[in-house]
Amino acid sequence: MTTKMQGNAGRGQGAPVGLPIDRVDGRLKVTGRATYAYEQPSAGPVPPAYGYIVGATIARGRIVAIDTRQARQAPGVIHVMTHRNAPAQPAFGPSVPPTPRDVFTRARPYLASDRVRYYDEPVALVVAESFEAARAAAALVQVRYQAEPGEFELAPRLAEAYQPPRTNAGFAPDSATGNFANAFSEAPVALDVTYATPYQSHNPMEPHATMAVWSDAGLTVYTGSQTLGNFQAGLAATLRIPPERVRIVSPFTGGGFGAKLIVHADTVLAALAARELRRPVKIALTRQQMYANAGHRAAMSHRVRLGADRDGRLSAMGYEVWSATCRFEEYCEQTAVFARALYAAPHRATRHRLVPVDLNRGEWMRSPGEAPGMLAFECAMDELTGLPYSTRNLVDCMRTGAARFGWQHRRAAPRSVREGRWLVGMGMAAAIRPNYLGAAAAQVAMDSRGRVTVRLDMTDIGTGTYTILTQIAAESLGVPLNWVRVELGDSRFPRTAGSGGSWGAASAGSAVADACTQLKARIVAAAKGPEQAAPAAVRFADGAVTLGGQTQRLDDLMARVAPGGLQAEGRVAGMGEAYKAHSHHAYGAHFAEVAVDADTGEIRMRRMLAVIGAGRILNPKTARSQILGGMTWGIGAALMEQTLLDTRYGNFINHDLAEYLVPVNGDVAQMEVVFLDQPDPNANPLGIKGLGELGVCGAGAAVANAVYNATGARVREFPVTLDKVLAGMAAAERLAL
């Protein structure tokens, strides 16, 4: 696996930003000294108790009887909580809250009524002296239900779909430019195809887990969180206490992919039980419980209609998406929104429709919108061959990738390349992802020795945040990397937008850079007095500062002028005027080569290439890691990943890592990543564009298109499994006769 950089980040000689720096937290993680939520020791005199959640065995109905006597009498049990004795909590509220922001901060009550809204919804919590005792006693809780008929399937009920008031992130559900219907009906070349994408589950390595501790100061929650502000607000609303009495601590989060943007049952129930018992309580969802209680990507049906002239110019583009949604809390993934900005066509239309089902809510899953949307849309685009591509540096990504991958050697006709029993094919797809900027603040302090401490409530979910913020601070202040210590994941630190939407690096990084600018001004003021030196005469580099032609070591200067140290706070306001004046996206192009066994339909990845245009690249090593993870995710989405629903009972049946298939080492191809390092001055002060989710976008479509090129089998129901490939090959052979 290789990484290439093209372009110039504009950094000075010796500056750390742009260098492939090793992760500063790497040693902590590989030696097991990075402490995650469930590993947090209790700081108080009383050891933590352990909670285990009992889930409903029906998907819809109500509890008519619940017997906890045996559980309460079991060894080690401290407390059993049900809807009958749980503390009062606010009502959940309307399915669609007033604003998109309210989705993240609304109260989320648990054990609040006798209603069951989805399979495995918590109906009881057993708290005991050990995890094993709590789990054993949980099996003794007896619940009797009055079940009601549930509706779980999407495909047979598309006629029942309705138009939501908005999609995720507040986008309008429909869009129209020109007259799509007329243009499509008159197009010389037209394509009308329907694709299906399945339910998918996040499956971060670290399960959802929480330790809640109450004190006179309020509640402290140790948990794995992507956005501490969401957890603080959501818990405060649920517990009916001021947000300032809730402290969230999350220095390390073992993956999230969107599943840890809001509070879930483990956090709320741990807080409720800890308050009742006046004792720390730990709760971790089991892997099986996560499938119903920690969100998922909803099943979708995608209808793509493309019209083109005979020379390949796109004239009409229509994209409609039907998605399953929870009854009690609507979630509409913005699946078709990317298509409004990707390709030029004079007549365009997109629509989102929802079908209510009796499942828990869908949630944000890596690259919400683009990941499932581009999987379908870019396969449909491949079916309409010969089109020119033209969108900003998307063209550069495609041309660079085509040259590096050897696209000129691809044979367009399917089943044209054979090596023994293996059919070989190539595929490609575009990638696009909106580039966001969230409001963020950061505090930077320098002590009398010149050592720097950076504090903000930003999280590191495995993406390398500690490392890139260290690089930004070191470069901004002109100090060695080992002079900088970054502290993250505490809601007492300045507020950021957190990790989500691929905005983490740009938002937090811009705030840190601004704080460093403010700190340098304070250092200069302390050294020069009220009259600061002209900016051109001040230079921070190599652990020293040059003022008016005189250079002093920072440690000597700080010891003399600020023995108590200095600090400053910086911020970035979020998407401002620049986001109104320009369309902000990051782009990429994915290329894939596969081999398919002509007899069995077995698919083997051979190689993949991603060419990424995501502004200034802060650290090629951590950036490459993100893109490789996205490419691997694309392989899984194309070939194996799906959460299987038992449509009789509304439960997910492959709810563990033995049967929920994701790629392992043997499934992954030879991979290459190329960055077009082109800073975007209109995006943010550092010229950064988000790339964490860009690596997923289009990657799966490139794989599926390669399978088609190899076999002639166009599979439109994902994942592309060998049974579907065999059926497709047989159909293609019949058509050829």
Which residues, other chains included, contact 579 with Cβ-Cβ below 8 Å and sequence gap of 6+?
Answer: 437
Other beta carbons within 10 Å of 570: 23
pLDDT, position 548: 80
Tokens 């110039």 map to which residue? Answer: 8
Q: Is it the case that residue 614 has pLDDT exceeding 60?
A: yes
| Separation between Cα atoms, residue 704 and residue 437, nearest integer Å | 32
Distance between alpha carbon 54 and the CA centroid of its chain, in Å? 28
What are the pLDDT digits (tens) for 620-648?
Answer: 999 999 999 999 999 999 999 999 999 99
**Matching fold, domains 389-435+583-736 and 438-486+494-574:** yes
pLDDT band at residue 14, thresholds of 50, 70 and 90?
low
What are the pLDDT digits (tens) for 63-113?
Answer: 999 999 999 999 999 999 999 999 999 999 999 999 999 999 999 999 999
Tokens 């979020």 map to which residue? Answer: 574
What are the pLDDT digits (tens) for 134-170?
Answer: 999 999 999 999 999 999 999 999 999 999 999 998 9
The pair of three-digit structure tokens given for residue 636, joined into one six-digit string: 């899984």
Q: Helices 265-277 and 228-239 meet at what angle, rounded to 10?
A: 50
pLDDT band at residue 5, thresholds of 50, 70 and 90?
low
How many CA atoms, within 13 angstroms, populate the side-chain half-sphere of residue 67?
A: 5
Other beta carbons within 10 Å of 153: 13
pLDDT, position 15: 84
What are the pLDDT digits (tens) for 198-254?
Answer: 999 999 999 999 999 999 999 999 999 999 999 999 999 999 999 999 999 999 999
| Separation between Cα atoms, residue 682 and residue 18, nearest integer Å | 19
* Residues assigned a catalytic role: 693
> What distance, in Å, lies between the first and last C-alpha atoms of the chain?
42
| Separation between Cα atoms, residue 89 and residue 527, nearest integer Å | 55
The pair of three-digit structure tokens given for residue 503, joined into one six-digit string: 């905005």
Kindly state the average pLDDT of the residues 4-8. Answer: 59
Q: What is the 3-state secondary structure (H, E, C) of 608-637?
A: EEEEEECECCCCHHHHHHHHHHHHHHHHHH
pLDDT, position 16: 95
Return the sign of the alpha-carbon dihedral for residues 571, 576, 579, 581. negative
pLDDT, position 536: 59
Q: Is it the case that residue 11 has pLDDT exceeding 70?
A: no
| Separation between Cα atoms, residue 157 and residue 151, nearest integer Å | 9
- Judge contact between 388 and 685, C-beta under 8 A: no
| Separation between Cα atoms, residue 456 and residue 474, nearest integer Å | 16
What does R_g of the chain's alpha carbons equal in angstroms? Answer: 27
- Judge contact between 706 and 602, C-beta under 8 A: no
pLDDT, position 41: 87
What are the pLDDT digits (tens) for 248-283?
Answer: 999 999 999 999 999 999 999 999 999 999 999 999
pLDDT band at residue 389, thresholds of 50, 70 and 90?
very low
DSSP string, 59-85: SSEEEEEEE-HHHHHSTTEEEEEETTT
pLDDT, position 103: 96
Give me the CATH code for the 438-486+494-574 domain, please: 3.30.365.10
Which ranges of 328-386 does DSSP label H, i.e. alpha helix? 339-342, 370-383
What are the pLDDT digits (tens) for 285-320?
Answer: 999 999 999 999 999 999 999 999 998 899 999 999
Q: Is it the case that residue 386 has pLDDT exceeding 50?
A: no
Report residue 403: phi and psi, to 5°.
-70, -45
- Provide the β-strand partners of residue 317: 306, 348
In this structure, of 390-399, 424-433, 604-613, 716-725, the range with the lowest mean pLDDT score is 390-399
Which CA distances in Å does 732 have to 411, 415, 638, 639?
17, 10, 20, 20
pLDDT, position 669: 86
Which ranges of 264-369 does DSSP label H, i.e. alpha helix? 265-277, 287-293, 339-342
Return the sign of the alpha-carbon dihedral for residues 542, 546, 552, 554. negative
Kindly state the average pLDDT of the residues 662-667. Answer: 95
Domain ranges of the chain: 389-435+583-736, 438-486+494-574
What are the pLDDT digits (tens) for 504-544?
Answer: 999 999 999 999 999 999 999 999 865 554 555 799 999 99
| Separation between Cα atoms, residue 183 and residue 308, nearest integer Å | 9
Query: What is the second-level CATH architecture of the domain 389-435+583-736?
Result: 2-Layer Sandwich (3.30)
- The reply to whether the predicted model has a pTM over 0.85 is yes
